[in-house]
Chain A
């Protein structure tokens, strides 16, 4: 699947599946959204109490289990961790704060573009700006250091945790919260959502599709492989939305979105910058977490904590626009990223690059 056809196919499947999920009950332009769905699951567990966004999203469980199973089958399941874990936790946290300012992760940004939501153009511009900021630090030697091999159990726990979530979804004990109104109440039937997630998990694991990697690699290496997937999602989501009549071109009255251009830009700039520093977008982090990368598990937990804070402290934007607290949180997020990016530049990175010398031997 490591071919241009493979990644275009994957983008097409995601674009179309996302529209089908909307057709079967997910909120419009939210067929799949990693940030929103981690937030909903966090809420279902009662870690935040925003009543409109609480539901254990089977798409997330499906993506994790699909990626886990295929990585085991392809002998790519490899348990590693130890590359700046708490920094990654904080980066996940900040990416979530940015995503909830914009109202969507990079994948939902692409799906919103495919639904005609022009507010996402400000998001896209911010996303690209954030990626460029990240590239500047990468070029100057930014690194979160190496990972190390860990025990198998360490890697099996995250997929197992998702099986546990699925049991909680099916049994719906009284301590789990499910929205009765708002975006959290809009969801496709469990079987369909789980199946869609499994398909996406398998395809993305095979093709390494990543929303942030597309723009990053195109700028950094003039490599267009990943961006083809990015474009393919927009094209096929647009076609699907037109077919089912969900397509709505414009700025005003878009589903689960606000029209504040500046904060859409800044929210996604924060998410883009944080994602470059992490090495991948929220979707990619979820896939890596499923294939044994414990640092990505920590990142997902950071996103979950970010979502809990975002709703407990009114940081998340709403259809009415950004909240004052949210604006402050985004600005703090930028300061935090600047600190993380600056202090993780390896001063000798450039100096050690010499012919005949082993680079990065430790």
Chain B
């Protein structure tokens, strides 16, 4: 499974990196984001393209999340 680290990247790169990873392996992906903006952008993209999402907040970090997405 592809794991993408988008921390510190500005718009729209977190979504673009997610999109590119899914072009290689479209079944599942894990995306690490470090802002709520990137989180909602990536989640919205995954929703639009038909993935189920499971997001967990990283311990001790207010704005860092791991988004796990699996093709519906």
For chain A, which range describes its interface: under 10, 10 to 19, 20 to 34, or 35 or more residues? 35 or more
Q: Do the beta carbons of A353 and B1 come within 8 Å of each other? A: no
Please report the C-alpha to C-alpha distance between residue A78 and residue B62 in the assembled complex, in whole angstroms.
9
Interface residue? B53 (CB, 8 A): no
Min CB distance B58 to A, Å, is 14
Please report the C-alpha to C-alpha distance between residue A279 and residue B63 in the assembled complex, in whole angstroms.
19
Please report the C-alpha to C-alpha distance between residue A166 and residue B7 in the assembled complex, in whole angstroms.
35
- Which residues of B approach A to under 8 Å, CB–CB? 1-13, 15-17, 19-21, 23-25, 34-37, 40, 44-45, 48, 62-63
A-B contact pairs, 17 of them (CB 8 A): A2-B40, A78-B34, A138-B12, A139-B16, A145-B8, A208-B40, A216-B12, A223-B48, A278-B10, A279-B12, A280-B11, A295-B10, A353-B20, A353-B24, A355-B1, A355-B24, A359-B17
Interface residue? A361 (CB, 8 A): yes
Considering the complex, give the chain A residue whose CB is closest to the CB of B4.
Answer: A359
Please report the C-alpha to C-alpha distance between residue A353 and residue B7 in the assembled complex, in whole angstroms.
17
Q: Do the beta carbons of B3 and A78 come within 8 Å of each other? A: no
Please report the C-alpha to C-alpha distance between residue A206 and residue B1 in the assembled complex, in whole angstroms.
33
Q: Do the beta carbons of A357 and B2 come within 8 Å of each other? A: yes
Please report the C-alpha to C-alpha distance between residue A300 and residue B9 in the assembled complex, in whole angstroms.
19
Please report the C-alpha to C-alpha distance between residue A2 and residue B5 in the assembled complex, in whole angstroms.
23
CB-based closest 8 A-B pairs: A146-B8, A279-B10, A355-B25, A279-B11, A147-B8, A359-B4, A353-B20, A2-B40
